[in-house]
A and B are shown apart, each in its own frame.
Chain A
Amino acid sequence: MPTIQTIDINAWYGTKQALKNISLEIEEHSITAFIGPSGCGKSTFIRIFNRMNDYIEGFKMEGQVLIDRQDINAKEVRVEELRQRVGIVFQKPNPFPKSIFENVAYGLRIQGINDKKVLSEVVEKSLMRAALWDEVKDDLNHPALSLSGGQQQRLCIARTLAVEPKIILMDEPASALDPISTSKIEDLATELKENYTIIIVTHNMQQAARISDKTAFFYMGEMIEYDKTTDLFTNPRHERTENYITGRFG
Chain B
Amino acid sequence: MVRIKEKVIEGLLMTAGMITILTTLGIIWILFSESYGFFKEVHIVDFLSDTQWTPLFAQKHYGILPLLSGTLLVTFIAIMVALPLGIIIAIYLSEYAPANFRNKVKPSLEILAAVPTVVYGFFALTVVTPFLQNFIPGLSTFNALSAGMVMGIMIIPMISSLSEDALTAVPKSLREASYGMGATRFQTAIKVTVPAASSGILVSVILAIGRAIGETMIVTIAAGQQPVFTFDIRQSVETITAYIVQVSLGDVQHGSLEYQTIYAAGITLFLFTFLLNNISYFIKKKYQEKYE
Is the CB of B187 closer than 8 A to any CB of chain A? yes
**A163–B171 contact, CB under 8 A?**
no
Q: Cα distance A89–B177 when bound, in Å?
A: 8
Closest CB of chain B to A52's CB: distance in Å? 6
Q: List chain A residues, Cβ under 8 A from B176.
A: 52, 88, 90, 94
Other-chain contact of B173, A50, A55, A92, A159 (Cβ < 8 Å):
A92
**A87–B99 contact, CB under 8 A?**
no
**A57–B99 contact, CB under 8 A?**
yes
Q: Cα distance A55–B174 when bound, in Å?
A: 14
**A83–B182 contact, CB under 8 A?**
yes
**B180–A83 contact, CB under 8 A?**
yes
Other-chain contact of A97, B98, B187, B196 (Cβ < 8 Å):
B196
Is the CB of B30 closer than 8 A to any CB of chain A? no
1/0 per residue, CB under 8 A from B, across A50-62: the answer is: 1010010100000
Q: Cα distance A82–B179 when bound, in Å?
A: 11
Q: Cα distance A27–B173 when bound, in Å?
A: 29
Is the CB of B9 closer than 8 A to any CB of chain A? no
Q: List chain A residues, Cβ under 8 A from B195.
A: 97-98
On whether A88 and B98 interact (CB within 8 A), knowing A94-B171, A97-B195, A110-B187, the answer reads no
Is the CB of A109 closer than 8 A to any CB of chain B? yes
1/0 per residue, CB under 8 A from A, across B165-194: the answer is: 000000101101111111110010001100
Other-chain contact of A159, B171, B174, B181, B187 (Cβ < 8 Å):
B181
Q: Cα distance A80–B180 when bound, in Å?
A: 8
**A87–B180 contact, CB under 8 A?**
yes
Q: Which A57-87 residues have C-beta < 8 A from chain B?
A: 57, 80-84, 87
Q: List chain B residues, Cβ under 8 A from A160.
A: 180-181
**Most interface-central of A90, A96, A98 (chain B CB within 10 A):** A96
Q: List chain B residues, Cβ under 8 A from A87.
A: 180-181
Other-chain contact of A96, B98, B174, B179, B184 (Cβ < 8 Å):
B174
B contacts with A, residue count (CB < 8 A):
19
**B182–A84 contact, CB under 8 A?**
yes
The A-B contact count (CB < 8 A) is 64
Other-chain contact of B181, A55, A92, A98, A106 (Cβ < 8 Å):
A106
Q: Which B177-219 residues have C-beta < 8 A from chain A?
A: 177-184, 187, 191-192, 195-196
Q: List chain A residues, Cβ under 8 A from B191.
A: 106, 109-110
Q: List chain A residues, Cβ under 8 A from B99.
A: 57
Q: Cα distance A118–B179 when bound, in Å?
A: 22
Is the CB of A111 closer than 8 A to any CB of chain B? yes
**B181–A107 contact, CB under 8 A?**
yes
On whether A88 and B180 interact (CB within 8 A), knowing A57-B98, A94-B173, A94-B174, the answer reads yes
Other-chain contact of B177, A55, A81, A84, A90 (Cβ < 8 Å):
A90
Other-chain contact of A81, B98, B179, B182 (Cβ < 8 Å):
B182
Q: List chain B residues, Cβ under 8 A from A52.
A: 176, 179-180
Q: List chain A residues, Cβ under 8 A from B181.
A: 83-84, 87, 106-107, 110, 159-160, 163
Q: Cα distance A156–B177 when bound, in Å?
A: 9
Closest CB of chain B to A105's CB: distance in Å? 11
Q: List chain B residues, Cβ under 8 A from A82.
A: 182
**A83–B179 contact, CB under 8 A?**
yes
On whether A50 and B180 interact (CB within 8 A), knowing A57-B98, A110-B187, A110-B191, the answer reads yes
Q: List chain B residues, Cβ under 8 A from A106.
A: 178, 181, 183, 191
Q: List chain A residues, Cβ under 8 A from B187.
A: 110
Q: List chain A residues, Cβ under 8 A from B171.
A: 94
Shortest Cβ distance from A102 into B: residue: B191
1/0 per residue, CB under 8 A from A, across B90-105: the answer is: 0000000011000000
Shortest Cβ distance from A111 into B: residue: B182
Q: Cα distance A84–B179 when bound, in Å?
A: 10
Shortest Cβ distance from B100 into A: residue: A57
Q: List chain A residues, Cβ under 8 A from B182.
A: 80-84, 107, 110-111, 163
Q: List chain A residues, Cβ under 8 A from B180.
A: 50, 52, 83, 87-88, 90, 160
**B174–A110 contact, CB under 8 A?**
no
1/0 per residue, CB under 8 A from A, across B50-66: the answer is: 00000000000000000
**Most interface-central of B173, B176, B182, B192 (chain A CB within 10 A):** B182
**B179–A110 contact, CB under 8 A?**
no
Closest CB of chain B to A116's CB: distance in Å? 18
Q: List chain B residues, Cβ under 8 A from A156.
A: 177
Q: Which residues of A contact B (CB under 8 A)?
A: 50, 52, 55, 57, 80-84, 87-88, 90, 92, 94-98, 106-107, 109-111, 156, 159-160, 163
Can you list 11 A-B contacts with CB-CB less than 8 angstroms, sorted by A residue number? A57-B99, A94-B173, A94-B177, A96-B177, A97-B196, A106-B178, A106-B183, A106-B191, A107-B182, A156-B177, A159-B177
Q: Which residues of B contact A (CB under 8 A)?
A: 98-99, 171, 173-174, 176-184, 187, 191-192, 195-196
